[in-house]
Amino acid sequence: MAPGRLSLAEAVPAEVWKPVARTAHAAYYAARGHRIDVRRSEAYLGQLMTLFGPAPAGWRIEYYRHASSAALRDHVGIEASGVTDLSAGRIDSVRDFHPHELVHAVAGRIGRPPVFFAEGLAVALSAAGRWHGGDLDTAARQALAASPSLEPFLTHFTEQDPDTAYSVAGSLTAFLLDRFGIEPMVAFLQGCGSSPQGYERAFRRAYGRSVARATLDWQRALVEESTTSREWYDPAGWPRSLQRGGATMEASVRPALPSAPRPEYLADAVVLEVGP
């Protein structure tokens, strides 16, 4: 949700970690008395790899399952049910399985778009089109009725009401995936590189249109088209259900981005229930 104000080095340790499992994709740790659904997490990571390409040699996520939201807040300094440090590839969560944060960790090694698109991608790929028990596009439609301009969400995402911001970002990103597939999204991430600066140019190269043009097309679709269940909401169909141009994801593999001098957090706000 927001860049962290408290670095991991400054965080106050409050829990004793128990190693749960170490795999080719991740090292899992849990607070005493808590579990992690390693099998489900590994299956989802494998599905993400089919979209974003296999991980570079030596790349591994560290997944920490905290005992409570309060313990997580003490560790990272923000209210959240899960956060991902993009620089370290570390996930801290209160859940035994957290697909939203797994998307951040995997996509974050490809490129760093503005928070709006990073959170939108995580919502789109992990929420199965649902939002607070209702439909994601319906929630976005209602949000736009109250605030038709997308500019505040794009430029000041972390200052917006998270309930509104995440639904708008998720719906727009789902629209892009539905219309164009995963290939231009990967190209967009690659074009952003290690910084969101210049994202407009990267977006134009990937999608052949401006962000503003794509936004208008999405808003028109929200008004004119009825909500449908998208085939790619089910990860079991990846990558076939998200391929439009027939490009192979092998060509999209990139080495991990250089570490930033301080953690760059993306978070799943604690007030939200995103994904399983």
Q: Would you state the torsion angle of the CA atoms of residues 64, 70, 73, 75, taken in this order, to the nearest 10 degrees?
A: -50
**Euclidean distance between CA atoms 275 and 251, whole angstroms:** 29
61-65 and 26-31 beta bridge pairing: parallel
Alpha helices in 86-225 (DSSP H): 99-108, 115-126, 136-146, 151-155, 162-180, 183-192, 199-207, 211-224
Q: Tell me the pTM.
A: 0.85
Are 210 and 203 contacting, i.e. CB atoms less than 8 angstroms apart? yes
Tens place of pLDDT for every residue, the chain, 276 residues?
A: 434 444 444 444 558 999 999 999 999 999 999 999 999 999 999 999 999 999 888 899 999 999 999 999 999 888 899 999 998 999 999 999 999 999 999 999 999 999 999 999 999 999 999 998 899 999 999 998 887 788 889 889 989 999 899 999 999 999 999 999 999 999 999 999 988 788 999 999 999 999 999 999 999 999 887 766 899 999 999 999 999 864 433 333 444 444 444 445 666 643 333 333
* Distance between CA atoms of residues 103 and 18, nearest Å: 24
Please state, in angstroms and rounded to a whole number, the distance separating the CA atoms of residues 76 and 181: 34
pLDDT digits (tens, 9 = 90+) for 61-93: 999 999 999 999 999 888 899 999 998 999 999
DSSP lists the bridge partners of residue 92 as 64, 83
Read off the pLDDT of residues 27-48 as tens digits, 9 standing for 90 and up: 999 999 999 999 999 999 999 9
What is the rounded CA–CA span in Å between residue 62 and residue 92?
8
pLDDT of residue 255: 43
Distance CA(112)–CA(45), nearest Å, equals 19
Q: Residue 92 half-sphere exposure, CB side, CA atoms within 13 Å?
A: 34
Question: Which amino acid type is present at position 152?
Answer: P
In this structure, the dihedral spanned by the alpha carbons of residues 266, 215, 202 and 257, taken in order and rounded to 10 degrees, is 10
Q: For residues 32-59, b (16+ Cβ closer than 10 Å) or e, as one string?
A: eebebbbeebbebbebbbbbbbebeeeb
Q: Please name which of 8, 16, 44, 19 lies closest in space to residue 32, comparing C-alpha atoms.
A: 16
Listed residue (87, 42, 92, 40) closest to 64, CA to CA: 92
Residue type at 140?
Answer: A
